[in-house]
Every structure is written in C-alpha cells, then in structure tokens.
Amino acid sequence: MEVIVIGGGAAGMMAAITAAKLKNRVTVLERAERLGRKLAVTGNGRCNLTNINMSPEHYHGQREFVTSVLNGFNLKRTLSFFRRLGLITVSEPSGRVYPHSDQAGSVVDVLRFALSALKVNVITSCTVSDIATSGGTFVVQTDAGPFKADKLIVTCGGAAGTRAGGSRLGYALITALGHSCTRLYPSLVQIKTENKYTRPLKGVRADAAVMVLSHGRTVSSSFGEVQFTDYGLSGPAIFDVSRSITTGGSGLLVKLDLMRELTRDDLKEIIESRLGSGLTMENLLTGTLHNKLGRTVLSRLGYSLSAPVSMLSHDDIVSISNMIKSYELPVTGSLGMDGAQVTAGGIPVEEFNPMTLESRIVPGLFAAGEILDVDGDCGGYNLQWAWSSGHLAGLLGDLQHDTEN
Ligand SMILES: Cc1cc2nc3c(=O)[nH]c(=O)nc-3n(C[C@H](O)[C@H](O)[C@H](O)COP(=O)(O)OP(=O)(O)OC[C@H]3O[C@@H](n4cnc5c(N)ncnc54)[C@H](O)[C@@H]3O)c2cc1C
C-alpha cells in the first residue's frame, strides 16, 4: 500500500516506521528542512521522552480514548523500541526518562536511521497545502507537486512552540476534510502576572507550593521550582498549573507559599528569634529565603530595609509570615503559543476510532500526536502520547500484525 505521512515530527516518524515495518511504501512529507525539529529542542535539549509513572491521569482529554491508545504501545514497549534502535535511556527520581547521551538529537537520529533502514521516502522542505480524495485515493498538494496515497496519516503537530515549528496548518488541512477543531489554548507555558513584585526578582528560583484561585476558589495546585521573571512566573511548578490559567478565564490569582516546609508559627518563631539580633530589616529573612526574595517580601509590606528589626510588633511578625506563606500575584495572561510546550485542544477524538485512530469521517485517514485534542502534563507525557498514537496510526488498522514488543 502507498502511505503518506504528513509531518515528520515525533508522531510522524513513529507512524512511518510502524507502517514501513508492515511492508507499506511510505513517504514522509515534512515542511521543515529536517525531521524532528521540535523533538530536537525538547527537554531543554535533553528530550524527556517519557515517564516511568505513566498513567492516563496525566492527560487532559477523553479518558477512555487516551487509555485505549496508551495501553497499546505503552511505556514498556516504547522503552524497548528505543533500546532496539540503540538509544540507551536513564530515568530520574522524578520518573522522567532521558537519553543517556543527554542529547535530544540522539532521539531524532535513531529515528532517522530507522526510517532510512526501512527505506522510507523522506521529503523535507515540503509543505502540504491541501488534501483531496478521489475514488478511494488521497491526492496531497504540496509546494513540491502532488503526491498520491491509498492511506494518509496526518501528524502535523499543534500550534504550540512556534519557534520550534508549531503551527495551525494541520488543523486547517483536517478541518477542510470535514473534521472539526476545538478552541486551542497554550499549555505548559510561562505565566504573566502583575510584575511589580516579580521583576525585581528576575532570575531568582524558589521552591514553592503554587495555588491558582478563581474568585476565591482553588482551581489547581502544584509544588516545586518556581522561577521569577520580568513578566511574571516560570518553572516546572508553574507549567503544571498553566493549563488551568490559560483555559480559566479572567480574575485569576496565583498564590505562592514561599516556605512550604514551615508553618506560619514556625516562621513567627524564626522572626521573633531575630528581634534582639541588632540586624536591620535588610537581613531579617537572610537564611530563610533567597535574599532578594526576602527583601522583596519586606518591601512589598512597606518596610524600610534600613530600619532595625527590633521595631517589629507582634502584628508585623504575623503579616510577614502571612506574606511568605501567601505571596499573591494577580494573573494578567501567558506567553501564549510562542512560549507554550503543548496545545490544549485540537481535533476532537470522538471523530476517530480509538482502536485504530482512523477517521470516522474520512475512511483511510489517520491522525496522531498533538493535533488531536489530547495534551499531557509536564514530564515526558506529551512525547509518550506522540509515540503511542503514532505507532497505532502507523498500523493503519492492521492490529493483527502489531508485533513490536
Ligand atoms: C520547547 C519545547 C520543549 C518540549 N519538551 C518536551 C519534553 O521534554 N517532553 C515531552 O513529552 N514533550 C515536550 N514537548 C512537547 C512535544 O515536543 C510535542 O508534544 C510533540 O513533539 C508532538 O509531536 P507531534 O509529532 O504531534 O508534533 P511535532 O513534533 O510538532 O511534529 C509535527 C511536524 O509536522 C510538520 N508539519 C506541520 N504542518 C505541515 C504541513 N502542512 N506540511 C508538512 N509538514 C508539516 C512540522 O514541521 C513538524 O515537524 C516540548 C515542546 C516544546 C515546544
């Protein structure tokens, strides 16, 4: 069978390898100059390719659909697939799996080598602009001329990560064939807040508990590293809650507990123990918080940093410990699709068969990866979705020959 895969990213390369192993003639059409452009920058150049704590709970999307797809080409099969390609992986205590080489390029390379060994026809710098069906055949229009196929796999990715090649082209191709597309939101993205109290902290990292509140109600929470920036907040704990912010409408507030290991009473005790130290306010929180953070907390409360700590009253101590436990920042937005790692939303999965990923609207059309309305948490879950769904789409419905183990 003649098969075309549109998009040579994570899901597309996986789909092409699977389809080629089943003796199909496979062509990959990729818009960029090389395959796996986004994959090559994942995980800060290290590629967090999956997570040993894999479970559908780490995904947003229709739960049964996600479970069905992840159960097929699962974590174990993914790791042994890469191992057979010669990619040695290591897992961190957090469960995140990386190539032992610590280079995302290694993941792209072993996939490229596999495509080449399977004689997959790879055409780069080739943008698909239109798909038509004629008598059971797909005709794919590109800037390098038309291509014909019996089956088509669309793996054009999502809109997130514009600099790494994210675009809306795939959604347009599929919706022109009669599919629909949900509203799209950036996820795993940096957050903009009122920056008066983050800008002076630019570059400071803190271990914090993060809560997102909508009109007083907690809508999401996380903990871990938070980075202060000139526009607001970044870091893994912020990425974890970012989806609830971009999809959560207006009036949101981020609340940081800057000392999650200690209670308010513990903090009051620490501050009280310094009252007779002869220090000025500048050093009241030295050793408790990052110096810049401690001073910003105090300035935010209106204290002069040159005042002696001995002037603090009981009420002052209560308000300082409250500010450390509840550092509030009104949300003003996010860095959008440019800064996002993944797109929330996409082509509704109800329009695809969960057993095969074949379209229920256009027979012979398959889709996989980020273009579908499934997105995962930070930690390797999005690439696992690309591997699992890419493999399933690459089977082209031929589940009996799913022999990869
Ligand atoms: C900076 C960054 C870091 C990330 N880090 C991680 C991480 O460490 N772990 C993790 O799990 N996830 C990570 N992600 C998310 C992950 O990279 C994506 O979810 C994943 O790559 C999606 O795979 P995909 O194959 O669906 O799409 P992509 O990998 O984006 O591939 C889609 C391909 O289709 C091509 N294409 C699009 N339209 C056309 C067209 N019309 N014609 C021809 N070709 C076309 C594109 O050029 C692209 O190469 C990160 C994302 C970003 C932006």
Partners of 146 in the beta sheet? 141
Banded model confidence at residue 400, pLDDT cuts 50, 70, 90: confident
Cα pseudo-dihedral 66, 68, 73, 75, rounded to 10:
60
73-122: pLDDT as tens digits: 999 999 999 999 999 999 999 999 999 999 999 999 999 999 999 999 99
Q: Distance between CA atoms of 11 and 106, rounded to whole angstroms?
A: 16
Q: Which amino acid is at 318?
A: V
For residue 327, pLDDT beyond 90: yes
Query: Which of these, 351, 389, 360, lies nearest to 59 by C-alpha position?
Result: 389
Partners of 212 in the beta sheet? 220, 254
Provide the CATH number for the domain formed by 2-185+339-401 in this structure: 3.50.50.60
Return all residues near 43 (Cβ < 8 A) that are at least 6 apart.
49, 96, 98, 104, 380
285-301: pLDDT as tens digits: 999 999 999 999 999 99
Give me the phi and psi of 144, to 5 degrees please: -110, 20
Using the structure block, give the residue that is written with the tokens 């390898």: 17
CA angle 256/209/338 to nearest 5° reads 75
* Atom from ligand 1 closest to the CA of residue 157: 27
Residue environment code for 317-354, b if the CB has 16+ CB neighbours within 10 A, otherwise e: beebbebbbebebebebbbbbbbbbbbbbbbbbebbeb
DSSP string, 354-376: TTT-BBSSSTTEEE-GGGBS-EE
Q: Distance between CA atoms of 273 and 314, rounded to whole angstroms?
A: 12
Q: What is the pLDDT of residue 297?
A: 97
Query: Which of these, 381, 403, 398, lies nearest to 51 by C-alpha position?
Result: 381
Q: What is the pLDDT of residue 57?
A: 96
Banded model confidence at residue 401, pLDDT cuts 50, 70, 90: confident
Q: What is the pLDDT of residue 402?
A: 85
List the residue whose alpha carbon is closest to atom 41 of ligand 1.
128
Q: What is the pLDDT of residue 79?
A: 98
CATH 3.50.50.60 location in the chain: 2-185+339-401
For residue 405, pLDDT beyond 60: no
CB 227 within 8 A of CB 204: yes
Ordered alpha helix ranges (H), 22-89: 42-45, 63-72, 75-84
Q: Distance between CA atoms of 377 and 57, rounded to whole angstroms?
A: 9
Ordered alpha helix ranges (H), 142-254: 169-175, 236-246
* Coil vs helix vs strand at 346: coil
Q: What is the pLDDT of residue 404?
A: 63
Pocket of ligand 1 (CB under 6 A): 6-12, 29-32, 37-39, 41-43, 47-48, 127-128, 155-157, 160-161, 164-165, 167, 169-170, 341-342, 369-371, 380-383, 386
Q: What is the pLDDT of residue 124?
A: 98
Looking at residues 272-280, what average pLDDT do you find?
95
> What distance in angstroms lies between residue 8's CA and the mean position of ligand 1's atoms?
9
State what percent of residues in the chain have pLDDT above 90.
96
176-199: pLDDT as tens digits: 999 999 999 999 999 999 989 899
Phi-psi region of 345 (alpha: psi -120 to 50; beta: other; left: phi over 0): left
Banded model confidence at residue 168, pLDDT cuts 50, 70, 90: very high
> What distance in angstroms lies between residue 115's CA and the mean position of ligand 1's atoms?
18
